[in-house]
Amino acid sequence: MNLPDNWLLYLVFISQIFILSFYLPRKIVARINYVLKNYSPEEYPKLYPRPVEYFESRRDFFRNFNNFNILLGIGIMFLIIPEFEVGEEKGLQMVPWAYFMIQMIPSMLTEVFSFKQAKMMREANTNKSRKANLAPRRLFDFVAPGLVAVAVAMFIGFAVFVLYLYDFDFSFGGKPMSSILVLASGNLLFIAIIAWNLRGKKLDPYQAYEDRKRIIETVVKSLTYLSIAMSIFMVLMMASSYFKWEFVMPVMMSSFLQIIALISLGTPLQTLPISRIDFDVYKNNQTQELESGNI
Amino acid sequence: MQIVIDIDDAVPMFNQLINRIKEAVMKNEIAPGDPLPSIRQLANDLEINNKTVAKAYRLLERDSVIQTKGYRGTFIHKDAKANCSVDLNAWVNEKLEQTIGSFRAKGVTDSEIRIAFNHLMNRKSS
Which of A129, A199, A209 shows the shortest C-beta gap to B41? Answer: A199
Chain A residues whose CB is inside 8 A of the B30 CB are 134
**Cα–Cα dist A182/A176, whole Å:** 10
| A136/B35 Cβ within 8 A | yes
| pLDDT at residue A1 in the model | 58
Determine the pLDDT at residue A4. Answer: 56
Residue A175: its pLDDT value, please? 87
State which residues of chain A have pLDDT below 70.
1-5, 286-295
Say yes or no: A131 contacts chain B, CB-CB below 8 A. yes
* CA dihedral over A46, A51, A52, A56, signed as positive or negative: negative
Q: Which residue of B has its CA nearest to A212?
A: B45
Average pLDDT over residues B11-36: 94
Contact A128 B21 (CB under 8 A): no
Element (H or E) spanning B6, and its range?
A: strand B2-6
| A121, A141, A197, A199: best to mutate for the B interface, most B CBs within 10 A | A199
pLDDT above 90 for B29 = yes
Cα distances (Å, whole numbers) of residue A141 to A44, A218, B43: 31, 12, 20
Chain B CB within 8 Å of residue A126 CB: no
Q: Whole-angstrom Cα distance, residue B113 to residue A186?
A: 67
B73 backbone φψ class: left, alpha, beta (φ>0; ψ -120 to 50): left
What distance in Å separates the CA atoms of residue A244 and residue A81, rounded to the nearest whole number? 21
Q: Tell me: the pLDDT tens digits for B30-66?
A: 999 999 999 999 999 999 999 999 999 999 999 999 9
Triad A281, A287, A290: Cα angle to 5°: 115
Which residues of B fall below an 8 Å CB-CB distance to A?
Answer: 1-8, 21, 24, 29-30, 35-38, 40-42, 44-48, 73
pLDDT at residue A295, rounded to an integer? 46
Confidence of residue B88 (pLDDT cuts 50, 70, 90): confident
ipTM score above 0.85: no
Question: Which one of A130, A137, A141, A278 would you mutate to disrupt binding with B, by most B Cβ within 10 Å of its Cβ?
Answer: A130
How far apart are the C-alpha atoms of B69 and A82, rounded to whole Å?
64
For residue A110, give the nearest of A64, A156, A147, A141 by alpha carbon: A64
Among B5, B44, B73, beta carbon nearest to A136:
B73
Which of A129, A134, A202 lies nearest to residue B6, judging by beta carbons? Answer: A129
The answer to whether the Cβ–Cβ distance between B44 and A136 falls below 8 Å is no
Checking A3-12 for CB contacts under 8 A at 24+ apart, the result is A5/A86, A6/A247, A6/A250, A6/A251, A8/A251, A9/A81, A9/A92, A9/A250, A9/A251, A9/A254, A10/A77, A10/A81, A12/A96, A12/A251, A12/A254, A12/A255, A12/A258
For residue range A178-230, what is the model confidence (pLDDT) as tens digits? 999 999 999 999 999 999 999 998 889 999 999 999 999 999 999 999 999 99
DSSP state letters, A7-63: HHHHHHHHHHHHIIIIIHHHHHHHHHHHHHHHS-TTT-GGG-SS-HHHHHHHHHHHH
Q: Closest Cα partner for B66 from B111, B20, B117, B101?
A: B20
Q: State the pLDDT at residue A64.
A: 97
Q: What span, in angstroms and rounded, lies between the C-alpha atoms of B116 and A125?
A: 51
Asked if A132 reaches chain B (Cβ–Cβ under 8 Å), the answer is yes
Question: Using the beta-carbon criterion (under 8 Å), do B4 and A130 form an inter-chain contact?
Answer: yes
**pLDDT value, residue A247:** 80
Determine the Cα–Cα distance for residues A29 and A25; give it in Å rounded to an integer. Answer: 6
| Contact residues on chain B for A128, CB-CB shorter than 8 A | 6-8
